[in-house]
Amino acid sequence: MRTTGILIRRRLTWLFLLYWAAFAALIFRLAWIQFVQGDYLQEKALEVRMRDVPVEAKRGTIYDRNGNELVTSVSSDSVYAIPYQVKNPRQVADLLAPVLEMDADRLYRILTRKSCYEWIKRKVKPEVSAKIKELKPEGIHLVEESRRFYRHETLAPHLLGFTGVDNQGLMGIEKSYDQVLKGKPGRILVEHDAAGRSVPDPIHRYYAPEQGNSLVLALDENIQYFVERELDKVVARYRPKLAVAIVMDPQTGEVLALGNRPTFNSNNWSEAPRQVWDRNPAIWYNYEPGSTFKIVTASAAISEKAVNPADRFFDPGYVKVADRTIRCWRAGGHGSLSFEEVVMHSCNPGFIDVALRLGKEKFYKYVKAFGFGEKTGIELDGEAAGIVINEKNASNLNIATMAIGQSIAVTPIQLVSATCAVANGGTLMKPMLVKEIRDSTGKTVKTCRPEPIRRVMDKDSADRVKALLENVVARGTGRNAFVEGYRVAGKTGTAQVVGESGGYVAGRYVASFTGFAPVENPRVAVTVMIAEPQGGIYYGGVVAAPVFQAIMQDTLHYLGVPEDPGLVKPPDPQAWYQAPRVKVKVPNVVNYPVHEAVRMLRAQGLSFQTRGGGSIVYSQVPQGGAEAMSDVTVLLDLNPPGVEGEQGVTVPNLGGLTEKEVRSLLEDMGLVLDPVGTGLAWTQNPPPGSKVKRGTAVRVEFRPPGTGRPDDPEAVPGMAYGGIMIMD
């Protein structure tokens, strides 16, 4: 019995100890939860029963350099629902669907979701929000948000960019400075139970967002208008694939204006084709610059003392480098001329000579120093670096072609930056878009300073190059860029377009002009690039230079730059190439592709005017074979006679074209190529001028380059004849 009693007491003791241990553990656990984890668990509980509805902040305003508002944010109501508050979702859906222009069934599905809140429609029109306020549907609420408003819908849209539905920057400055502009978002706090149902006296609070900072751009609204106006004019006249104009301050690198065509409406950007707004041609489009690149060649030669302005050259019309013949744009060449005249008349053999004197190492030194082959650092997404042949792989032929702006690809922003480096005395500047950042009260929080990248040449050399480029405008190929009352310097450029699979595409050119003024103290630099103008006129001095002239003239007047009344454009329209007025035989260009016809006329020193929008010359005045003075203008009619559907199409003269050029031309006319052999077009059947139906096969015999042209043995060779020629 005693043993049994002791055993019972022991068991009771252990049971009592276990009880107290469990109680102590429970007390400890309660204390741990209450005092150690209390704040954390309370926060988690709030997260379960509270839901945040984010409210975006009002983005900062964007101003031009003079304080003019370019982009702002305007209030716009957004509609959201708290589903558990909607007692009759079908009735509310039927009531709101017509107001919100939504499908009633889709709206019903939104209102019956098991959630604490649902967006119904963001940023509705004022009349829609007013109607909802009038109807007061249960469970439906409005919150004030903001949407971006571009005061001038098509003013610099590629530069300014645009935002998405959540006010996030998607392109341009809006994207580059999104963190600066977007501000701090607010929120709506909504309380519910675990099942998403209403709780007694629920919390429903609104925490206001904080507005973002504002930007003051380097861009000038008025200068941008000048650019937009002139781009519209050139598009209406020449219908190019792309057109770009950039205006910069050479001393600081500030971008005063940047325009592209085609363009779009910033307030309705989603309605424009993606390819229009997806990329900014001013910083993305790679093209062979042609003779505008001769600015770099001249700068390198002058800086390295490889040539003096008075040094003499002889241009027979071509120069042989390795196994290639590179021809001057002027038939027969320029003869004897100084380097000053080489630059003035854009003489290809002269520039090739000085580039080869420099050698590969020194030539590449300046190509790299001027920033080609690398991004400029402009604060916009999508910038291209251009294309430069690797120095290790470059041959003398590469140096020769690069010297005249071929075998190298640049972007418009690179070219205008290089132009500014010459204009300001030899310093390459980083393109500058933003001058100041201001907070919501207007206080300046950051001032942006001009950023020199590197010194590319000394001031004395830059001044010599400026003088050479001034002659180009005053007496050379750039006369159409002359601005009365100001000393203007610049360079024209015309180059063929490189095809996707290599080689040059027949009839497709890029016309460009780059320059600055006044020469003595440059205030403005302008680069104009017109890609693939239509109508047979594609020379930089004819298409791009007048755009430059109009922008430069209005900009200088707007900036209040004093005029020199003694600076008047020379009256002789032929003085730019100093050709004597002589009798010439007008070549027969009927049935030729328009680009070939223009080459033949220019080879004889004749000017031309086109009528119509076709690609073949159907008639000309004066007629082929006629004798005329060299200053006569030949009228080329590009309109097919009669009704094309009844009379068919006219077979063009294909002599001397490459197979790729022939195929492209015939496909455009609805004809089929039947090729024989390789090389350049030698004979064809049906013959030029024949009327045939669309779909007819044209048999063309091709022979190796150098064989000649049976149909026109005296025609001046260009790219199609086995040589290299840059038009200017």
Sorted by where each starts, the structural domains of the chain and their CATH numbers stand as 52-216 (3.90.1310.10), 221-252+281-558 (3.40.710.10), 581-639 (3.30.10.20), 649-728 (3.30.10.20)
User: Which pLDDT value is given to residue 714?
Assistant: 28
Q: What is the pLDDT of residues 614-650, one digit of tens each?
A: 777 888 888 888 888 767 788 888 766 654 444 567 7
* Structure confidence at residue 505 (pLDDT): 76
Give 290's contacts (C-beta < 8 A, 6+ positions apart): 404, 405, 406, 493, 494, 495, 510, 512, 540, 726, 727, 728
pLDDT per residue as tens digits for the range 641-685: 654 444 567 787 787 777 877 887 788 778 899 999 887 788 899
Min mean pLDDT across 149-153, 158-162, 246-250, 285-289 is at 149-153
Among residues 406, 182, 425, the alpha carbon closest in space to that of 294 is found at 406
Rounded to an integer, what is the distance from CA 8 to the centroid of its chain?
Answer: 96
Task: Give the pLDDT confidence score for residue 283 in this predicted structure.
Answer: 96
DSSP 721: G
Which entry of 291, 299, 407, 512 is annotated as an active-site residue?
291
Q: Could you tell me which of 446, 419, 416, 424 has the C-alpha nearest to residue 434?
A: 446
Residue with tokens 């610059």: 289
Least confident window among 42-56, 259-273, 387-401, 433-447: 42-56
| CA–CA dist 606, 330 (Å, integer) | 11
pLDDT in tens, 408-465: 999 999 999 999 999 999 999 999 999 999 998 899 999 999 999 999 999 999 999 9
Q: What is the pTM of this model?
A: 0.74
* CA terminus-to-terminus distance, the chain: 127
Across the chain, mean pLDDT equals: 84
| 654 and 628 Cβ atoms separated by less than 8 Å | no
Which of 219-228, 288-297, 609-618 is predicted with the least confidence, judged by mean pLDDT? Answer: 609-618
pLDDT band at 574 (very low <50, low <70, confident <90, very high): very low
Taking residues 398-403, report their average pLDDT: 94
pLDDT in tens, 109-119: 888 887 767 88
Which residue type is seen at 88?
N
Coil, helix or strand at residue 620: strand
Q: With the C-alpha atoms ordered 287, 290, 296, 300, is the resulting torsion angle positive or negative? A: positive
Greatest distance between any 2 Cα atoms in the chain: 150
Which residues are 620's β-sheet partners? 636
Would you say residue 145 has pLDDT above 80? no
Handedness of CA 157, 160, 165, 168 (dihedral sign): positive
Q: Which of 251-260, 367-376, 382-391, 589-598 is least confident?
A: 589-598
291 is catalytic: yes
pLDDT in tens, 208-227: 788 899 999 999 999 999 99
DSSP secondary structure, 681-695, as one string = EEEEESPTT-EE-TT
- Write out pLDDT tens, residues 475-521: 888 999 999 999 999 999 998 888 766 677 777 899 999 999 999 99
pLDDT band at 273 (very low <50, low <70, confident <90, very high): confident
CB-CB contact of 84 with 161 (8 Å): no
pLDDT band at 558 (very low <50, low <70, confident <90, very high): very high
φ, ψ at 11 (rounded to 5°): -65, -40
Q: Cα(507)–Cα(578) distance, rounded to whole angstroms? A: 28
- Answer yes or no: is pLDDT of 721 > 60: no
717's tokens: 């060779």
- Using CA atoms, how far apart are residues 376 and 502, in angstroms rounded to an integer? 26
CB 402 within 8 A of CB 355: yes
pLDDT value of position 42: 64
Residue among 230, 277, 159, 241 at smallest CA distance from 530? 241
Residues 208 and 57: beta-carbon distance below 8 Å = no
Q: Per DSSP, what are the bridge partners of residue 703? A: 680
